[in-house]
Amino acid sequence: MVNIAVFVSGGGTNLQALIDAQTSGRLHSGRIRLVLASNPGAYALERAKNAGIPGVVCSRKELGSQGGFEAAISKELEAHGIELIVLAGFMSILSENFTKQWPERIINVHPSLIPSFCGKGFYGLKVHEAALSYGVKVTGATVHFVNEIPDGGRIIAQKAVEILPGDTPEVLQKRVMEQAEWVLLPHAVEQVAAQMEKERA
């Protein structure tokens, strides 16, 4: 099985979707071996603990620089034998220096249909606010590989979600999570892990 690290910053609902997929056997080509949080108060660490998965904190603020932050992350990844990284609501940008060491081995989920409402500055509720103010009728989620360009890596999977009259950014965010992110991410992680296993065989 492929050893997976999930990077988190907040509540960890996408992490929970991955843990549930692992428990039910939908995610079977990889195993979550580490949850790494950029924020010591992330509830996602509690979810990891409840699932018996090691959790660590690497805070850029405390480590003082991007270089120190990424060196600490690399040390943890090495210690846990990680082969695949999943960004699940990870609010820190990783440098080109870091991402090029993991070509098509870092996966991110973004709450829009890329290339719409993505790139620098588009994260969390801001994405849904932009979709609503633009007046689009359909949004969704995208799972893609991570490279040096924010939201610029190759797309793995997308799922559309309808925008309904009266939607607020919060209501839309919840629907995109439930109908797209939590479905798409475990499926895409399994797909990539299965391909990695095949390449190893």
Q: Specify whether 110 is catalytic.
A: yes
Catalytic option among 110, 128, 144, 187: 110
4: DSSP letter: E
110: DSSP letter: E
Residues 6 or more apart whose Cβ sits within 8 Å of residue 31 = 1, 2, 3, 4, 22
Q: What angle do CA 119, 16, 32 make, to 5 degrees?
A: 90
Q: 197, 1 in Cβ contact below 8 A?
A: yes
Q: Report the C-alpha gap between 163 and 149 in whole angstroms.
A: 28
Which sequence positions are flagged as catalytic? 110
